[in-house]
Amino acid sequence: MSDILDLGGRVALVTGAGQGVGRQVALQLADAKGSGGVVVNDYVLARAEAVAEEIRSAGGTALALQCDVSDHAAVKAMVEKAAAELGPVGARAPIPRRSWASRSGRPGPRSGTASSASTSMG
Ligand SMILES: NC(=O)c1ccc[n+]([C@@H]2O[C@H](COP(=O)([O-])OP(=O)(O)OC[C@H]3O[C@@H](n4cnc5c(N)ncnc54)[C@H](O)[C@@H]3O)[C@@H](O)[C@H]2O)c1
């Protein structure tokens, strides 16, 4: 039987990972068996960098990449940069859906609030 908690060396990309639910998902994926590293995305770069540093301090592999996930071209560029630095992304966890930022062009009431979470792996 396969181990569903074994990431098999896959690189994970977690969007909206600078705080809250996304941060926790990023920390768990970095610590999971077979983690190939985590791309920590957030609209606010300083948040992403802080979480990536948290992962590295704990011995994991992490890369902080800023982009607004409502911007398709920016997401494509982020995925390409992630592949160049860590390898192809094999697991994804999109935390913000259509974010507050995508509707207003700027971070939400708590300086970048997403409006719902959905997590998918694949
Ligand atoms: N916290 C909970 O217990 C909980 C439970 C269930 C569902 N949710 C939902 O999950 C979502 C996340 O919750 P949270 O508490 O972690 O939110 P949060 O606001 O604390 O964190 C969301 C992160 O996503 C980033 N972000 C927002 N829009 C972005 C964009 N367009 N591109 C990139 N990054 C972006 C923000 O900068 C922020 O760091 C919310 O919509 C919330 O309603 C939260």
Question: Cα of 87 to ligand 1 centre, how many Å?
Answer: 26
Q: Could you tell me if residue 109 is inside a domain?
A: no
Residue 53 belongs to domain with CATH number:
3.40.50.720
* C-beta 114 within 6 A of ligand 1: yes
Longest dimension (CA), the chain: 47
Q: Could you tell me if residue 30 is inside a domain?
A: yes
Q: Could you tell me if residue 80 is inside a domain?
A: yes
Number of domains in the chain: 1
Q: Could you tell me if residue 77 is inside a domain?
A: yes
Is pLDDT at 17 greater than 60 in this prediction?
A: yes
Residue 91: which pLDDT band, with cuts at 50, 70 and 90? Answer: confident
* C-beta 44 within 6 A of ligand 1: yes
Q: Could you tell me if residue 120 is inside a domain?
A: no
Q: Tokens standing for 86? A: 């860590």
Calculate mean pLDDT across residues 23-38: 96
Is pLDDT at 100 greater than 90 in this prediction?
A: no
* C-beta 64 within 6 A of ligand 1: no
Q: Which residue range(s) make up the domain with 20?
A: 11-96
Q: Tokens standing for 2? A: 């396969």
Q: Could you tell me if residue 50 is inside a domain?
A: yes
Q: Could you tell me if residue 17 is inside a domain?
A: yes
CB 66 within 8 A of CB 41: yes
- 103 vs 19 pLDDT, higher one: 19
Q: Could you tell me if residue 119 is inside a domain?
A: no
DSSP structural state of residue 69: T
Report how far residue 32's alpha carbon sits from residue 3's, in angstroms, rounded to the nearest whole number.
11
